[in-house]
Chain A
Amino acid sequence: MNIKEIAKKAGVSVATVSRVLNHPEVVQPETREHVLKVMKEFNYTPNWFARSLNLNRTHTIALMIPTVEKTSYQQIVSGVEQVAIRKKYATLLCNTHNDLKTELNYLDMIINRKIDGIILYSSNLNREQLDKFKANKTPLIFIGKNDVFKNENSCYINFEESAFKMTKHLIEMNHTNIDLAIDESSKQTNEYFVKGYKDAITSLNENMGKIHYCESSIEGGYLLTKKLIHKKELPMAIFSSDDEIAFGIMKAAREEKIDIPSRLAIAGFSDSPMCTLVTPELTSVEQPSKKLGMVAARMLFDIIEDEELALDTTHEIVLQSTIKIRQSCGNRKRIYELF
């Protein structure tokens, strides 16, 4: 007899049975009594039930992210926290500063404090370190795509496809000679970014532009552009891996009296609120970051609450981003949204 069969016998949903076990206080008293009676009748004890009672949950989950200084990471925090609070859980924020040592310290702390589950974003762990942590059986969800945690429960935004679509848009706006400016510190995502960009260029038979690595900041984009102008290597278009770099490119272009988009087209990434404040408004890729946080938290609670159900398979959820086409790449149409 498993949870699904109990639900069927009791004439309620699996979620209800699960809640009778996990949060009996939120279930209607009559329903709760009825479900408990059916469980007794069929002599049902979930194998994890006793465990969760003994363990005394801390009702805390941990979210480990490489930085809290960027909007998209803040949105992930907000999404995770929004789901957690509805589940009456607190969220422990662990900022690793993209540093492996800090990450390992936090993992120890998480085990010691008996945190109920953890969401790991852009982890720097290798397989051995990961397996060591997994031995503790703390429920675990990954955000991001990485060879180390292939076949683990994970969710991520499809950067490769996003980069492909934006590059394709630039080509369709009749730009040839498109360069890519990417954040030198985002090791985990750069690979997918570059692949999407290259695939678009190759599939549309364009010439490959240059790939520039720079600091992920306004200054990074500014210095890069100044250098390109002075070396007379300025391309027709630059696609940057974040909006900050793009704003820096715009700043340098304005100083050098280079018109956007007729001489230089610019596309950003992450669709920060500032995109509509600059002139021309910046075309960018909107990432569903908050949704990503919500999805990660939901996947985590699926495991925390229903181990029996979650054990069967590993899940991988891929989210797609939306291209927000504004005026910085030559588009003149008013409503122009693509998925």
Chain B
Amino acid sequence: MTLTTNFLGLPLKNPILVASGPWSRNASSIQKSIDAGAGAVVTETIALETGVNIRPRIFKNNGSLFNTMLYSSLALEQWENEFELIDKKDSHIICSIWGASPSEISYVATKVERMGADAIELSISAPIGAKNENFFTNPNDINKFVNAAVKSVNIPITVKLSYNASLSSSIASSIERAGALGISAIDSLKALQGVDIESQKSLMPTYGGYTGEHIRPISLATIATLAQFTSCELSGIGGINNFKNVLEYIMLGASTIQIASAINLNGYGLISQTINQLENWLIEHSYNNINDIKGVALKSLVPYEDIPVKNLKSRVLDGCTDVDCAKCYSCCIYDAIIKEDNKPKVIKELCTGCGLCVQMCSKCFELVWE
């Protein structure tokens, strides 16, 4: 059984990458990910100027984080020193970089290539701070920008996209035409934690990047969409907490995945744990190669228009024991569930087979063919 895979032409020992972020902010933090067995590590975003660490800057909401770090607080010269201290072993370093103009990005790309980056991830749509609005909408500008980086280096390039940009097939194709080999999706979402209604103030002083398990469903849909309209290799990012999430992304067409905020919440040990569990799952399911499951779940996705309407209706099972639980009555907006002899009853003529009652209470309901 092997987890080895090829991404952007790099032979990776496994598809588990560590995403760009403060957990990859310098040599010692990157080393922790390498030592934990990551296939490759993406650095915090390196730019011509240094980012500021506002305080506080990380905000938490259950399993998700709002991050207000824009880019690395280390200058290019400091990164040169950090690079010397990293022992790459059999892992790879992907430098995340940002520049505000094509000439800027081309310069930073040359710099990180000379430092020893194995690949580059262009961070073009971080949701924090002022950004060129064109990047969200204009495929021609994205093409010029990406191409400026591609032309100036001999290492492969992946482009990290926001949710919005990922949904445009013209943006994906402009990136492909520009010569990028990969697309990483999605970047964090522009978000606010909430408002303290008593003081009537926002809980965060500025917009943050929302990451974590709540964005996973959105990112999964994005990867599935991208898998259909680009031949770029995909790196899935968003709410990866365990090996199951890794499998979900790969089954929807991702070549690699990137763990992000889960490291911030659980530590670097999560990387090795995920790799072990992934290995075990593949062995248990008699797979020899992780690539055998790449994209397998895409076949089960059907365009909305093509889904046949099955004649399914809800049926009450005998399991209902909680007389006072009234969830099923209120969840049926079709008025098809009524109370009879202290038990729920489905009025077949009114049931449209939406399936919500089954998910509310699988002990009491099932969907069956009429």
Interface residues of A (CB under 8 A from B): 12-16, 18-19, 26-28, 31, 82-83, 86-87, 158, 288, 290-291, 294-295, 298-299, 309, 315-320, 322, 335, 337-339
Contacts and interface: CB of A to CB of B under 8 A. Distances in A.
Contact of B101 (A31, A319, A337): A319
B206 to A, nearest CB: 8
B132 A320 contact: yes
28 contacts: A13-B116, A14-B116, A16-B116, A82-B75, A86-B75, A86-B77, A87-B77, A158-B101, A288-B100, A290-B49, A291-B49, A294-B48, A295-B107, A298-B107, A298-B111, A309-B114, A316-B103, A317-B101, A317-B103, A318-B101, A318-B104, A320-B101, A320-B132, A335-B206, A338-B133, A339-B130, A339-B131, A339-B132
A113 to B, nearest CB: 25
B115 A15 contact: yes
A241 to B, nearest CB: 21
Q: Which of A16, A19, A316, A339 has the most CB of B within 10 A?
A: A339
Contact of A15 (B48, B80, B207): B80
B81 interface: yes
Given A28-B84, A290-B49, A318-B101, 17 more contacts: A13-B83, A16-B84, A28-B85, A31-B84, A291-B49, A298-B48, A316-B103, A317-B104, A318-B103, A319-B100, A319-B104, A322-B130, A335-B207, A337-B130, A338-B133, A339-B131, A339-B133
Nearest to B135: A339
B200 interface: no
A291 B83 contact: no
Interface of B: 48-49, 75-78, 80-81, 83-85, 100-104, 107, 111, 113-116, 129-134, 206-207
A172 to B, nearest CB: 13
B150 to A, nearest CB: 16
Chain B binding surface SS class: helix
B104 A298 contact: no
A320 to B, nearest CB: 5
Contact of B77 (A31, A83, A158): A83
Which 6 pairs across A and B sit closest by C-beta, in order of nearness? Answer: A13-B116, A337-B130, A339-B132, A86-B77, A14-B114, A317-B103
Contacts of A339: 100, 130-134
Contacts of A335: 206-207
A26 B85 CA distance: 11
Contacts of B101: 158, 317-320
Contacts of A18: 114
Contacts of B49: 288, 290-291, 294
Given A13-B115, A16-B84, A298 B76 contact: yes
Contacts of A19: 80, 84
A13 B114 CA distance: 6
B130 A86 contact: no
Contacts of A26: 81, 84
A309 B113 CA distance: 13
Contacts of B85: 28
